[in-house]
Structure 1
Amino acid sequence: KFTYMNMLWLRHPEQLADLSLDMNYDPMRRYDSVDAKLQGQLQDLRDIIPRKFHKEFENHMFWKEFKKQMQQQCSNGISQIRLYAGPAIFDCKASDLATVTGRMRFKEEIGFVEEADGTTRYKALCPILYKEYEGRHDKTKIFLNPALFQAQHVLSADNQLQPIGASTNIPYQDDMEYYLKYLNKGLLTEDHHVLAIFQAWNDHFYPNS
């Protein structure tokens, strides 16, 4: 549940065993530093895991196993999406998502760019994040593409969903934190563009609420 509802990976989970709760923690600055990210993770985990298990947080083996199980859930989830939901989400054939070669046709949609010197990379603000992408960042359209849920990895050449793609070198964890920082800050400052994103998805998933 934590993997799907909170975050796909933990940042430096081995450090959480020795981390104390910071009563001055500021959610606004959660993604500004590694220390803030660690504290944010700890705060989330204390909220979602029953109090009777909090003593296990001091056990390094607990975090090693927790990390292992989170990675397993990531792999299970992405495999199921590719196998059962991917073709409908992306309007393609199942065979297009079944192999690395097949998924390469989507590389531009998930941010692949080739620089003038021939080097290549995947940009975080990739076309698939936007509704009706027009070649540039538009804060009125970002995160409003209906095909967003785990879309970047579903379409990538990477077989496993890991913090850094083994084949593409896409920094999935860094990108995820970049997106979360954008959304988190927008919520806390009541940015109307970010509030509109949440309203759009609420309307999509809970149309009668």
Structure 2
Amino acid sequence: MAKKTLKRTRVDDSSSDSSEEETVNFDDMSLAQLKEALRDSQLKKNQAEKKMRQALGDITNTSDEENKRRKSKSKGNDAKRRKKRRRVGVRVRDDDSEAEKEGESGSEDGTGSGSEESHTDSDDDARDVVADVASLGRRFVMIKGLWINKSALKKEIDETYDAKKRFDSKQGIVQGQLRDLFDILPNHLDGKTRQKGWFRRAFLNGMSSQRSNTSTRVRRGAGDSIFKCSSADLLSPASRRQFREEIGWHELGDGESGEGDARARGEYASLDVPLLHQGGSKEYDIHTCFLNPVLMRLFAAIVRGPNAAAAMREAEDKGTDTASIAVPVTDNMERIHQISCTEPGAIAAASVLAIWGKSTDIKLQARGDHTNIDYEGRFNEYLEILTTGLHKKSPSILHVFAEWDRILFPDAEDSYAEPGRNHGRKKSDGFSRAMEALAAEEASLEGEGEIWPPSPNKVLSAGSG
């Protein structure tokens, strides 16, 4: 009888390529041993096939140990790449400086020889500076202007600039905007810094962010309180069309042509706008223009939040003086950006935003997408009227600033209408009475022949007696 044998493959778990074969003689085995040998052989076969399938299914076709080594190396490279990207992306530098582009460490991978702690501190400082500049852009939108000519961030100061001729030319407008920027530029950011690429990007990003937030607040966040209408009325261009006469629309006669939607039949006036006038005059009135309470509620909503506009509306409905409305105790844009009095740019911006808010235009941009209103041109026109009135000390314009400050900034230390009106700080009634008492005491002592002020020794001896 032929000798029956079975080849069994023994697999070493330490390597997929290591195996050896052994021969089992069936004739020397009992039935129980034979079954056990077959089961053992099948188990070994299954394990070998499973390991083979895993190896074939792995695109790296490497052992587990090699995979671990590769993953570990990959993580290290990723960390280096992340560090390099962070260094280049955050560093505040001039785009034209090749030395800064390559990094100061001289290392190709950008890791440098300094400590990770010092590098992180530098990154944090850079982020803080960029955030400061973006905040500067937001403040500019609120009190100086909704838009800025990009060249103003690159131009040098023209010493021959005349503020009274600001709006006579484009160059004059740019120089005026440059001075508006210098008015709010903090000491740690000098004039040369503003000409760098990173400054321009951060500043313009801040302006764009603030315009976006403002447009949302004017229509959605506080529109019902600002305009005293329902939120549904401001929801779509179709629903806002009902306000077009309020924002200056008027029909044109035969042969006339205008700009805006339905250009052949009408146009939007820039100053014959009821929404700008206290009392809603349809024609420009020097005594009431820029005094519509809508404009003040809108500005309050921007710098103090929607609740401020709602409180002002409620006070007006009750016949209460809105100047008594308290400033919210929480942080707001007014406190963050230290807005302390009414600026010409704030009034001009509020006027433009009020018109845009009730227009059929969708986006807040320099020219209306539906009405074709030149909002940037309107802003400059309103600003010119206000600043010219200030230069000439026009009573009507001074009254505009005085009324805005009376309602919005009653405790302001300064005002365009009355510079230094509180002489540095507002005196309380208690302070005034205390000073009067001191003056009376001084007069009394001088009348008695006392030396003023008394010597310390005399005060001490009087106390001991």
The secondary structure found in structure 2 opposite 1:135 is: coil
User: Partners of 2:368 and 2:152 in 1: how far apart?
Assistant: 24
- Per-residue deviation at 1:106? 0.6
Please state how far the C-alpha of 1:65 moved relative to its aligned partner: 5.1
State the 1:206 CA deviation.
2.9
From 185, 188, 204, give the equivalent of 1:67: 204
Q: Which residue of 1 aligns with 2:378?
A: 175
Alignment deviations for residues 94-148 of structure 1 (CA, whole Å, 9 cap, x no partner): 1111111111111111112231243432111111111113432211111110002
Give unpaired runs (5+ residues) of structure 2.
1-138, 255-263, 296-349, 413-465
Could you tell me which residue of structure 2 aligns to residue 163 of structure 1?
A: 366
Does 1:114 pair with 2:260? Answer: no
Structure 2 residue aligned with 1:124, among 260, 270, 275?
A: 270
Worse-superposed segment, 33-42 or 199-208: 199-208
- Give the alignment's Cα RMSD to 1 decimal: 1.9
Q: Aligned to 1:5, which of 127, 130, 143?
A: 143
Three-state SS of the structure 1 residue aligned to 2:179 is helix
Conserved in 1, the CA contact under 8 Å of 2:361 and 2:368? yes
Q: CA deviation at 1:18?
A: 4.3
What residue is the counterpart of 2:239 in the other structure? 102
Work out whether residues 361 and 370 of structure 2, in 8 Å CA contact, stay in contact via their aligned partners in 1.
Answer: yes
Specify whether residues 17 and 82 from structure 1 end up closer, same or farther in structure 2 by C-alpha distance, changes over 3 A only: closer
Counterpart in the other structure of 2:284: 137
Q: Deviations over 1:24-65 (max 9, x none)?
A: 222222222111110011112123123443323323564355
- Separation in structure 1 between the aligned mates of residue 221 and residue 215 of structure 2, nearest angstrom: 10
Deviations 1:156-193 (A, max 9, x none): 11121111111111111100110000000100110111
1:88 aligns with 2:234: no
Asked if the contact 1:71–1:162 (Cα under 8 Å) also holds between the matched residues in 2, the reply is no
In the TM superposition, 1:180-195 aligns within 5 A as 180-195=383-398
Which secondary structure does the structure 2 equivalent of 1:30 belong to? helix
Amino acid of the structure 1 residue aligned with 2:378:
D
Shift of residue 70 of structure 1?
1.5
Report the equivalent of 2:180.
44
Which residues in structure 2 correspond to 1:197-208 (within 5 Å)? 197-207=400-410
Q: Deviations over 1:83-102 (max 9, x none)?
A: 12211222211111111111
Q: Output the CA distance in 1 between the equivalents of 2:410 and 2:221.
A: 24
The TM-score with structure 1 as length reference comes to 0.90
Question: TM-score, normalising length from structure 2?
Answer: 0.42
Higher relative contact order (CA 8 A, sep 6+): 1
Counterpart residue type for residue 5 of structure 1: I
The residue type paired with residue 289 of structure 2 is I
Q: Evaluate the alpha carbon distance shift between residue 134 and residue 154 of structure 1 in structure 2; reply closer, same or farther with a 3 A threshold.
A: closer
Aligned residue identity for 1:128: L
| Bigger mean CA offset, 167-176 vs 62-71 | 62-71
**Residues in 2 aligned to 1:60 and 1:38: alpha-carbon distance in whole angstroms:** 18
Deviations 1:5-24 (A, max 9, x none): 1110013x1x2354211122
| Distance in 1 separating the partners of 2:177 and 2:223 | 30
* Residue identity opposite 1:84 in structure 2: G
Task: Work out the CA distance in 1 between the residues paired with 2:411 and 2:194.
Answer: 40
Whole-Å separation in 1 of the counterparts to 2:394 and 2:292: 19
Counterpart CA distance in 1 for 2:227 and 2:196 is 43
Distance change >3 Å, CA 153–CA 23, structure 1 → 2: same
The separation in 2 between residues aligned to 1:41 and 1:59, in whole angstroms, is 17
Rate the CA distance shift 1:52–1:144 in 2: closer, same or farther, 3 A: same
Contact 1:130 1:142 in 2 (8 A): yes
Cross-structure match for 2:128: none
Q: Which protein is bigger by CA-based radius of gyration? A: 2
**Paired residues, what number?**
207
CA distance in 1, matches of 2:375, 2:247: 11
Distance of 2:392 and 2:384 partners within structure 1? 12
CA distance in 2, matches of 1:28, 1:115: 34
Task: Give runs of ≥4 in structure 1 deviating > 4 Å.
Answer: none
Q: 1: distance between equivalents of 2:368 and 2:203?
A: 21
